[in-house]
Amino acid sequence: MTKRNGITYTEHNGQFIKHCPCTPDVVSCGYYNLNLHTGCPYSCSYCILQAYLETKEPIYFTNFADMEKELQEASYTHRYLRIGTGELTDSLALDPRTDYSHKILALFEQFPDIVFEFKTKSTHIENILNYGKKLNNIIISWSLNPREVIKREELLTPNLFSRLKAIETAQRQGFKIGIHFDPIVVFPGWKAAYLDLIRQIAKIIIPAQIAWWSLGALRFPYSLRDHIFKYQNSRLFEGELIKGHDGKYRYFKPLRLELFHYVKKHIREYVSPDVPLYLCMEDKEVWQEVLPKLPPDEAALNKYLYESALRVLRAFVVQKRRR
Ligand code: SF4
């Protein structure tokens, strides 16, 4: 074990690749997590890591050969593998200090059939842009929320303007972009705030380069309650919350349906009718109501999202040829 720049580097004894745990009785999208590092320098009121992780200290695992072996095996058994480092940490928040993105890119260059996602709220894409090669299986995704939510709930994170600038830069370099509206938070004025956010995204985004866009309504386990109370300006308790059978608190169904329909309508209207939307941690009924054209089935959704990423690639190649 070593420590440099406040970051611990050590070997990982467990499995690197894990099916996203999702939650019982919802439609999983078939995503996999790559547990390459833990801990996050940001401080979000709704973040489940605050309840799950023993320490916020960043720990980066070093045994890449073991991870490569696991990936090799997974590539034999999974035809449509989508995987990322952003479920348990921010994929890029500490990248200027670790340069792990280079190691990841070098690794996934060997697995062109596995779609890898960097998921972040940061603006640290320099190392990725400087890698020298653009890999077709790489997506850079941003979690976005209206300014009001960032200010109250996402402390220490870059502001919306900086994130949108980073998206613009990445897509100009030809990268495929993912967007995550997760968690969507209800507060007085939420409709105007999300509409404004969608309009701002629409001004800069190239729809053909969107690999996927998730919608997830606020949910949190009871154990996160004390953490949320520490955020005196938080508005997480303002929507009508109920306890689901997974023990998590979430908005009651009519409110979730209202917010999903609302953001979907405006994304379709302002960004593109073809944006590949999906829901995070929602049950079959909500899926069928909100996205009736998609089969609420894990294998089918995973394939749809995987192929969506590849379709973006084709669109980008065609665009480049035309230039
Ligand atoms: S729907 Fe969300 S929580 Fe469930 S598997 Fe997909 S990314 Fe993970």
pLDDT of res. 54: 63
Q: Is the pLDDT of residue 315 over 60?
A: no
pLDDT of res. 323: 45
* Any ligand 1 atom below 6 A from CB of 20: yes
Query: Domain segments of the chain: what residues?
Result: 2-322
Residue nearest to atom 6 of ligand 1 (CA): 29
- Does residue 321 or residue 125 have the better pLDDT? 125
Opening angle at CA 153, ends 42 and 165, nearest 5? 65
Q: Which residues of 284-303 are buried (b: 16+ CB within 10 A; e: fewer)?
A: eebbeebbeebebeeeebbb
- pLDDT, mean of residues 65-75: 97
What pLDDT, in 10s, does the model give residues 153-192? 999 999 999 999 999 999 999 999 999 999 999 999 999 9
Please, which pLDDT band fits residue 77 given cuts at 50, 70 and 90?
very high
Taking the alpha carbons at both ends of the chain, their separation in whole angstroms is 50
What pLDDT, in 10s, does the model give residues 261-297? 999 999 999 999 999 999 999 999 999 999 999 999 9
Residue 201's φ and ψ, nearest 5 degrees, are -65, -45
Question: Hey, which CATH number is domain 2-322, 3.80.30.30, 3.20.20.450, 3.40.1190.10, 3.10.105.10?
Answer: 3.80.30.30
- pLDDT, mean of residues 187-214: 97
pLDDT of res. 312: 62
Coil, strand or helix: which one is 179? Answer: strand
Please, which pLDDT band fits residue 70 given cuts at 50, 70 and 90?
very high
- pLDDT, mean of residues 228-232: 90
Residue nearest to atom 1 of ligand 1 (CA): 280
- pLDDT, mean of residues 255-262: 98
Distance CA 178, CA 201 (A): 12
* Any ligand 1 atom below 6 A from CB of 280: yes
Selection from 90, 112, 88 nearest residue 101 by Cα = 90
Residue nearest to atom 4 of ligand 1 (CA): 22
The residue to mutate among 181, 281, 291, 304, having the most atoms of ligand 1 within 8 angstroms of its beta carbon, is 281
Q: Is the pLDDT of residue 310 over 90?
A: no
For tokens 């994929």, the residue is: 91
Cβ burial of 310 (10 Å; 0-12, 13-18, 19+) is middle
Atom of ligand 1 nearest to the CA of 33: 8
- Does residue 311 or residue 154 have the better pLDDT? 154
Torsion of CA 249, 254, 256, 258, to 10 degrees: -160
The residue to mutate among 26, 31, 82, 302, having the most atoms of ligand 1 within 8 angstroms of its beta carbon, is 31
Distance CA 187, CA 193 (A): 9
- Does residue 29 or residue 88 have the better pLDDT? 29
The residue to mutate among 29, 91, 181, having the most atoms of ligand 1 within 8 angstroms of its beta carbon, is 29
**Average model confidence (pLDDT) for the chain?**
93
Q: Is the pLDDT of residue 322 over 60?
A: no
Contact predicate 227/45, CB 8 Å = yes
Q: Which two tokens stand for residue 117?
A: 């996602």
Share of the chain above pLDDT 70, in %: 95
Give distance in angstroms: CA of 82 to centre of ligand 1: 11
